[in-house]
Amino acid sequence: MSGAGLAAESGGARAWRWLREHAVNIVAVAVVLYLLVPIAVIFVFSFNDPAGRYNYTWVGFTFSHWSNAFGISDLTEALLTSLKLALLATLISTAIGTMMAIALVRHQFVGRRLSNFLIVIPMATPEVVMGAALLSFFLLVGTPSLGFQTLLIAHVMFCISFVVVVVRSRLIGFDRSLEEAAKDLGAGPIATFRLVTLPLILPGIFGGAMLAFALSIDDFVISNFNSGTTVTFPLYIFGAAQRGIPVEVYCIAMVLFFTTVGAMGFTTWQQRRAEKMAAVRPDQESAAPMPDPVAA
């Protein structure tokens, strides 16, 4: 074989080796780009100045839509409805879900295994099935009218499962010796929960709350079945898509996206900080000098 052939073969072998070593990184970058490209397109076109109703082609750069993002009254009303609905659903589902997670992890009772199974059902059920089932339930019990109340009940129902799963995973990895140490020092059950348990599981609670908020404000299918005349932000976008989505929708969507990302980043930081503090405590206790029995 000639020298050129050997050089080509060695070059091809090096390229193949590099590809094998970096295959995982290449796939990871491709997946991240696949997820971020649609968001980047929305961000770029939020500065577009379309000539007509449809914002599909780039015409020119402008800040006018950002400066007047809340200028459309129907859009602003739909956004406020979604925010109010998401906040209430988050508060209720977080409170109920946290108590359910504590009961499932800390206590033994009849039907505990069945409860663990039932918690997963809303997460695994298709939204079309759940939305239709809730609509049938509201009609069966004779609900006067569909609206904000039925939306709140529906959102709380599917948000609870996600809160339970997140908080339960946090409780499973919880070091119970910290609670026992607090009780040995004279703390009662309420004081132990308030001073020891709650601060350590708070990142999990906050993470479950953020997940519930994101799911609630983003929901369309279940809301479409049970909204009645109430219009949420996703329902407004669906209706506007048939006649041309205003550019202001792009601006508000980006504000919600960056707010959610920032909140999730803060939650992740708090969780890692709590994990580091929990890991440092045993090291400090083991490094503490033991009392001299002779001196004692």
pLDDT, tens only, 27-82:
999 999 999 999 999 999 889 888 777 777 788 888 888 988 888 889 999 999 99
Straight-line distance from the first to the last Cα atom of the chain, in angstroms, rounded to the nearest whole number: 85
Pairwise CA distance, residues 89 & 48, whole Å: 35
Return the CATH architecture of domain 70-281: Orthogonal Bundle (1.10)
Pairwise CA distance, residues 216 & 83, whole Å: 9
Question: Could you tell me where in the chain the CATH 1.10.3720.10 domains are found?
Answer: 70-281
Residue 294: pLDDT band by 50, 70, 90 thresholds? very low
Give the H or E element holding residue 181. helix 176-184
- The mean per-residue pLDDT over the stretch 256-274 comes to 81
**Predicted TM-score of the model (pTM):** 0.79
**Largest Cα–Cα distance of the chain, in whole Å?**
90
Residue 111: pLDDT band by 50, 70, 90 thresholds? confident
- The mean per-residue pLDDT over the stretch 255-281 comes to 77
pLDDT at position 6 over 70 = no
Q: Please provide the average confidence, as pLDDT, over all residues in the chain.
A: 84
- Closest among 54, 245, 229 to 144, alpha carbons compared: 229
Torsion of CA 221, 222, 226, 232, to 10 degrees: -70
- The mean per-residue pLDDT over the stretch 136-165 comes to 91
